[in-house]
Amino acid sequence: MLDRLHSLSVFLASLFVRIPLWIYGEYILPLVYLLPILQSYKTENYVYPSKLVEEVVNANDVLDICAAHGFEVHEHVVKTQDGYLLTVHRIVSRHASLHELKLKRPVVYFHHGLLTNSELFLLGQRTEKCLPFLLVERGYDVWLGNNRGNKYSRKHINLSSKSAKFWDFSLDEYAIFDIPDTLTYILDLTKLSKLTYIGFSQGSSQAFAAFSINPQLRDKIKLFVGLSPAMIPRSLSHPIAKFLVTCPSELLYFIFGTRAILPSTVFWQRLLGPINYMKVVDWSLVYLFNWKSEHISLTQKQVGYTHMFSPSSVKSVAHWFQIINNKRFQMFQEDISKIYSSVPSLHSKLHRCAPFPVQVIENMPMMLLYGDQDILIDMETTKQNLVRNLKDLTLVELPGYEHMDTLWADNVTELVFNPLLQKLEQVHAANDISDTDTDTTSDI
């Protein structure tokens, strides 16, 4: 009886969201045929602050973004052990010769957050506000990774991205396959034994999870840097966000389906135009998360928001909601029984989901930079889980900073990039190739 009532309540709740989504699909989505006219009308008279801003806002992909800044991109494809094909971007200077590209250089790898892609780190309104470009100019070998399912990684050797099975992944698969396989590919190609990992938000979480279950991977990290590092996010207070976080996973699947979440982002960007789209995103972030964005300029929002979002699986979002509800950095919890899952006390007696045991991470130089106004992370819990086994842990708390400020704040170069670059220089000492082979060249 309880099981039937539970299913009925989930179905009724889903109707309130599914009906508007049906109207959107039947009547709003066909407006795509009018997009060229609408887009021209919205942007033809707009004057951008600079040519660079205009080129980045109107860029189609990471290649266009890098070209606007004067850099090139070499694309690589990593095949994971479970068959996903992930595109990895290597950023190089246009002035680099073939010989320079073959020389061994310290590798710095970047990984993006939830619902984003590798473009995230290249969206500064000026070149000096893009950390990867600064590192390339300082002689580092810079790589940008992508999660399965996002804009650059929607291929599988057997599965179609139209199938629900393709999208059956969460933080577990990122940690077990995507991160280890990508890092192994880069180190094998460059013939190095270690690299520096820089993760933003979930990009840090994926690393924590991967390091916790893979001792061999920990030995490949020379320095880990977490920007706004998420491990166990705080509970969200907004009624809509709180409802979605606390509702059963079945309801999320009823509402959003079992495949991709945010699949129509590009449609809304084109429909609204870059200026109106920026305003809508900004209002939404204020409304849902109370982000004041006092440190991020309107021009920076325009550049960043245009390329900020990328699809991921509904299951990956549901996984984060489980972590928030359970206040525990754990693997995805499958429903072992509808009867038991409807009675939490019985479910917890029968099954305890496996954790990501981050307490075992040790002897890894680590630097975490975060804002004291970031409502999406709980740094006290994060520090409790890490500090006991780390001898070299640098914590940089940034007054007034929110979640996105560690990437886009007006003073991000002074408060975030410069300390990070100093730490990198300490770890990657000049001409220090003690962790490399005797050969001085690598494949490209």
Q: Give the residue numbers marked as catalytic.
A: 201, 374, 403
- Residue from 48, 182, 169 nearest 107 by CA: 182
Structure-token pair, residue 335 = 């429903």
Write 38-41 long-range contacts (CB < 8 A, 24+). 38/270, 38/271, 38/273, 39/270, 39/273
Given 3-state DSSP classes, what are the helix, strand and coil percentages for the chain, each rounded to the nearest 5?
50, 15, 35
Q: Are 127 and 94 in contact (CB under 8 A)?
A: no
Beta bridge partners of 75: 89
Distances (CA, A) of 19 to 26, 49, 254: 11, 41, 11
Rounded CA gap, 284 and 413, in Å? 27
Where in 33-106 does DSSP place strands (E)?
A: 71-79, 84-93
Rounded CA gap, 22 and 215, in Å? 47
CA angle in degrees (0–180, nearest 5) for 114-115-121: 75
Write 388-394 long-range contacts (CB < 8 A, 24+). 388/359, 389/359, 389/360, 389/361, 389/362, 389/363, 390/361, 390/362, 390/363, 390/364, 390/366, 391/363, 392/364, 392/365, 392/366, 393/366, 393/367, 393/368, 394/366, 394/367, 394/368, 394/423
Q: Are 401 and 374 in contact (CB under 8 A)?
A: yes
Q: Are 425 and 432 in contact (CB under 8 A)?
A: no
Structure-token pair, residue 97 = 């010769």
Q: Are 169 and 261 in contact (CB under 8 A)?
A: no
Sort strands 221-227 and 366-371 into parallel, antiparallel or unpaired: parallel
Q: Are 147 and 157 in contact (CB under 8 A)?
A: no
